[in-house]
Amino acid sequence: MKSRLTQLCNAMIGVGLSLGLATSAGAAQSLQDVMKARGLTEKDLLAAAKTYTPTGGRDEYLAFSSGGQSGQIFVYGIPSMRILKYIGVFTPEPWQGYGFDDESKAVLAEGRIDGKDILYGDTHHPALSEENGDYDGKYLFINDKANPRIAVIDLRDFETKQIVVNPFFKSEHGGTFVTPNTEYVMEATQYAAPYADDFVPLSKFNEVYRGGLAYWKFDKKEGRIKPEQSFVFELPPYSQDLSDAGKGPSYGWGFTNSFCTERYVGGIERGRPPFEAGCSQKDTDFLHITNWKKAAELVKAGKVKKQKGMYLIPIKQAVKEGLLYLIPEPKSPHGVDVTPDGTKIIVSGKLDTHVSVFSFKKIMDAIQHKKFVGRDPYGIPILSMKDTLHTQVALGLGPLHTQMDAKPCIAYTSLYVDSQIAKWDYCKGKVLDKVNIHYNVGHLMAMEGDTAHPDGKYLVSLNKLAIDRFNPVGPLHPQNHQLIDISGDKMQLLYDMPVPLGEPHYVVAIKADKLKPEIRYRSGWNSRANSRSKWRTRAGREKIVRNGNHIDVYGTVIRSHITPEIIEAKVGDTVSLHLTNLERAEDETHGFALRGQNVNLSIEPGKTVSATFKADKAGVFPYYCTEFCSALHLEMQGYLLVAPKNYQAAGVSMSEGQTYTKADYEKQVKTNLETQAVIDSVVAFITSRNYKDFKPVVALVEDATDQLGFADEAKKKAEEYAKKGDYHNATLWAGQWWQYQVKTADLGLRAKTYLEEHGAKVVK
């Protein structure tokens, strides 16, 4: 009889043959045939060639997109537009075990409001950390508009590490935007509300309701926001909107616009005109100008009082110290964007056809000469729009957001109502080109387009509606991210990417080679706390420790077993599972799922995670690995047995379905020797090639060597039992020896295929 491995190899060859046939059948068609059959134009082919990325290829940029109402972030490559990852941020995400292990539950718990778990977010604006105004590839921030919160994501492992709740705001929008060295993360309110947590009637709107702008202090070394070093500007109850931080000459200043400076309060159900009417009466709203650098100095000098754990700068103090100014800006503005050189501030008025370009120098001149046209009802000095404007350019209907090109003075602005993107020159005030998008673009994003040194090349249009772009999937449509080539004079639409997630607002893209994510964790790592886990467990040191009613299980996972495989508890016990993944190989994640207890873990190589739950019911609870990690993955299983309180074990013997004899043992050993021969031939192939020149192969070989080491240990145990005449256990250990051989062979074959596909050379 053929060994199982030979069968496996034959099956593999079979797959290869059928693939080969399919490829040659495809190759028989010419490009023209395919174009005709699919109705493609030459322009389509050109677009395809600009985005298509062959297997194993890499993207030049990675984009981090807000996942809107999903409370997540997702990551995709540009120009391929292939989605690479979802990152759980404000919402539990089962694949990553986010919100299911104790470590990540602690992160989500930081985001509680009034002690309540808030398990969703309305994510809007991701921001990458910066150094001298350019992305450094270290951290990512995102806000939650609905529950005023900010999250910190570490780009070493793309995991959420911290959530902070704004103690004053009841709603926000203008975050996250970072200052040029990530000194601070900006977050502005949206809908005004009282700072206190009690009831305040709407009749007190003007006196007690407030807007605000937080500057959250970020510690780059630690990778954490420091609320106790952060400060908040008290602002009038206007609806503050987006922000941007100054850079270059405008370094130290922040810009935040607003709408509904009418301070209108609706009540349509009472016969009052609705918010939308009352909030769009005036021709202008206010651009808020804040001096965060001077504010930080005041805080440092002990001149600002603390409230609710943060520094709060009252309007009066901000005005007195010259930290806060207003400039009228056209009706119901949306985006505010500082140009790469920091000299100009571009504001779009949703209800105006213009974008307004303000000059930072003119703003400073007006401030220096105290040239104010008046004060708002809260005493904040107002600069004149005329004095501070550089130019205004009519772009089209509903201008929202602006991004910058690598070429000087070139910007792109989204036109929501027109469903277009306009390319224009903000120095000369001239429109250069327009492209139609599908449909109603909100944000748009050029490569590193909000930094001091934008890259240009591509633009992504984040559309609010998809309507007819994709196959219908019911009333709720996917989102549509459209990729546009901006390398030439004319913009060219390249690709539509449907996204089945919440409405994305902003997205940021960074040059992929600036990111240096890890492949594995240091062994026994608590990734959320970024430290060694106190629960880490080494191979052979697994144990179950009982302390009164609490059981701590120090376990490990490795291809293909979970240690321990049997856990006994009694009703009423609290069980804490602590599992360490012992793997060092790339992509060898193990999962862990347990019936009925909401326990679902993702344990990446090196990671230690915990899951604590109450064994509140007697019963049998199978658990298993949820990642198909090896041929014997289905056997990666175990039992949690919860016995009734008064249960007394009658005996310790396990009943097994089979007993093995000397003949069984010898048969297994024969299979193992045959398998070893296959391994040897694969090893001979690999070592006769220049495999050391291929990094992925070197990693596979290391992993295979580890597995072979385990095989050796199992072999020794089998032989010891055989020597004692215990052929039952000898056969079982010989089977385990074979398991490790199969893993070795699997790795070896993967390495061999890689070498064949990459033209490895024969060496002497």
**Percentages helix, strand, coil for the chain, rounded to the nearest 5?**
25, 35, 40
x-or-dash string of contact with ligand CUA, 543-572, rule CB under 6 A: -----------------x------------
- 542 vs 556: CA distance, rounded Å: 7
The entry of ligand RUQ, ligand CUA, none near residue 607 (CB within 5 to 8 angstroms by kind) is: none
Q: Does 697 bind ligand CUA (CB under 6 A)?
A: no
Q: Does 609 bind ligand CUA (CB under 6 A)?
A: no
Report the residue number, 231 or 259, with the smaller CB distance to ligand RUQ: 259
Tokens 């020794």 -> residue: 716
Q: Does 400 bind ligand RUQ (CB under 6 A)?
A: yes
Q: How far is the CB of 554 from ligand CUA (least distance, A)?
A: 18
Q: How is 361-408 classified by DSSP, letter by letter?
A: HHHHHHHHTT-EEEE-TT--EEE-HHHHEEEEEE--SSEEEEEE-SST
Tokens 């010891």 -> residue: 720
Report the residue number, 212 or 524, with the smaller CB distance to ligand RUQ: 212
- 90 vs 160: CA distance, rounded Å: 9
Total binding residues toward ligand CUA, as defined by CB under 6 A: 8
| Phi, psi (degrees; rounded to nearest 5) at 590 | -115, 150
- 529 vs 428: CA distance, rounded Å: 51
Report the residue number, 125 or 715, with the smaller CB distance to ligand RUQ: 125
DSSP code, position 116: B
Q: How far is the CB of 565 from ligand CUA (least distance, A)?
A: 13
- 224 vs 230: CA distance, rounded Å: 12
The alpha helices in 606-760, defined as continuous H runs, are 662-687, 695-723, 727-757
Q: How far is the CB of 445 from ligand RUQ (least distance, A)?
A: 11
Q: Does 434 bind ligand CUA (CB under 6 A)?
A: no
Q: Which helix (H) or strand (E) holds 65?
A: strand 61-66
Token output for 466: 């998809």
Q: Does 505 bind ligand RUQ (CB under 6 A)?
A: yes
The entry of ligand CUA, ligand RUQ, none near residue 481 (CB within 5 to 8 angstroms by kind) is: none
Q: Does 700 bind ligand CUA (CB under 6 A)?
A: no
Among residues 371, 633, 667, 728, which is the contact residue for ligand CUA, using CB under 6 A? 633
Q: How far is the CB of 563 from ligand CUA (least distance, A)?
A: 12
Contact range with ligand CUA by CB under 6 A, out of 154-162, 487-495, 624-632, 668-676: 624-632
Q: Does 354 bind ligand CUA (CB under 6 A)?
A: no
Contact range with ligand CUA by CB under 6 A, out of 262-270, 629-637, 709-717, 745-753: 629-637
- 35 vs 132: CA distance, rounded Å: 48
The entry of ligand CUA, ligand RUQ, none near residue 718 (CB within 5 to 8 angstroms by kind) is: none
Report the residue number, 125 or 390, with the smaller CB distance to ligand RUQ: 125
Q: How far is the CB of 212 from ligand RUQ (least distance, A)?
A: 17
Q: How far is the CB of 593 from ligand CUA (least distance, A)?
A: 11
Report the residue number, 149 or 217, with the smaller CB distance to ligand RUQ: 149
∠168-171-174 over CA atoms, to 5°?
100
Contact range with ligand CUA by CB under 6 A, out of 73-81, 91-99, 123-131, 628-636: 628-636
The entry of ligand RUQ, ligand CUA, none near residue 442 (CB within 5 to 8 angstroms by kind) is: ligand RUQ
Report the residue number, 502 or 591, with the smaller CB distance to ligand RUQ: 502
Q: Show Cβ contacts of residue 389 under 8 Å, excluding neighbours closer than 6 positions.
A: 356, 357, 358, 359, 362
Token output for 595: 């019936």
- 414 vs 334: CA distance, rounded Å: 11
Q: How far is the CB of 692 from ligand RUQ (least distance, A)?
A: 50
The entry of ligand CUA, ligand RUQ, none near residue 627 (CB within 5 to 8 angstroms by kind) is: ligand CUA
DSSP code, position 21: H
Q: Does 625 bind ligand CUA (CB under 6 A)?
A: yes
Q: Does 742 bind ligand CUA (CB under 6 A)?
A: no
> Contact, 399 vs 348, CB < 8 A?
yes
Among residues 105, 161, 334, 607, which is the contact residue for ligand RUQ, using CB under 6 A? 334
Query: Among residues 183, 323, 187, which one has the least CA distance to residue 242?
Result: 187
Report the residue number, 401 or 481, with the smaller CB distance to ligand RUQ: 401
Token output for 587: 């992509």
Tell me the residue length of the chain: 764
Q: How far is the CB of 499 from ligand RUQ (least distance, A)?
A: 15
Among residues 146, 296, 313, 636, which is the contact residue for ligand CUA, using CB under 6 A? 636
Q: Does 604 bind ligand CUA (CB under 6 A)?
A: no
According to CB under 6 A, which residues from 154 to 173 bind ligand RUQ?
Answer: 173
| Phi, psi (degrees; rounded to nearest 5) at 413 | -125, 135
Contact range with ligand CUA by CB under 6 A, out of 135-143, 460-468, 475-483, 626-634: 626-634
Query: Among residues 394, 398, 431, which one has the least CA distance to residue 412?
Result: 431
Report the residue number, 210 or 443, with the smaller CB distance to ligand RUQ: 443
Q: Show Cβ contacts of residue 148 under 8 Å, excluding neighbours closer than 6 positions.
A: 165, 166, 169, 170, 171, 172, 187, 189
Report the residue number, 340 or 398, with the smaller CB distance to ligand RUQ: 398
Among residues 157, 627, 706, 746, which is the contact residue for ligand CUA, using CB under 6 A? 627
Among residues 457, 505, 590, 607, which is the contact residue for ligand CUA, using CB under 6 A? 590
The entry of ligand RUQ, ligand CUA, none near residue 334 (CB within 5 to 8 angstroms by kind) is: ligand RUQ
Q: How far is the CB of 638 from ligand CUA (least distance, A)?
A: 12
Q: How far is the CB of 603 from ligand CUA (least distance, A)?
A: 9
Query: Among residues 99, 102, 106, 67, which one has the least CA distance to residue 83?
Result: 67
The entry of ligand CUA, ligand RUQ, none near residue 636 (CB within 5 to 8 angstroms by kind) is: ligand CUA
Q: Does 398 bind ligand RUQ (CB under 6 A)?
A: no
119: left (phi over 0), alpha (psi -120 to 50) or beta: alpha
Among residues 423, 443, 457, 607, which is the contact residue for ligand RUQ, using CB under 6 A? 443
> Contact, 167 vs 309, CB < 8 A?
yes
Which neighbouring-strand residues pair with 187?
214
Q: Show Cβ contacts of residue 404 under 8 Å, excluding neighbours closer than 6 positions.
A: 337, 339, 340, 410, 411, 412, 446, 449, 450, 454
Q: How far is the CB of 174 from ligand RUQ (least distance, A)?
A: 8
Cα separation values, 464 from 75, 146, 562, Å:
19, 19, 46
| Phi, psi (degrees; rounded to nearest 5) at 470 | -130, 175
> Contact, 763 vs 698, CB < 8 A?
no
The alpha helices in 584-694, defined as continuous H runs, are 662-687
Report the residue number, 506 or 738, with the smaller CB distance to ligand RUQ: 506
Report the residue number, 636 or 751, with the smaller CB distance to ligand CUA: 636
The entry of ligand RUQ, ligand CUA, none near residue 443 (CB within 5 to 8 angstroms by kind) is: ligand RUQ
Q: Does 124 bind ligand RUQ (CB under 6 A)?
A: yes
CA 696 and chain centroid, separation: 26
Among residues 437, 629, 679, 700, which is the contact residue for ligand CUA, using CB under 6 A? 629
> Contact, 330 vs 352, CB < 8 A?
yes
Interface ranges with ligand RUQ (CB under 6 A): 124-125, 173, 334, 400-401, 442-443, 505
Interface ranges with ligand CUA (CB under 6 A): 560, 590, 625, 627-629, 633, 636
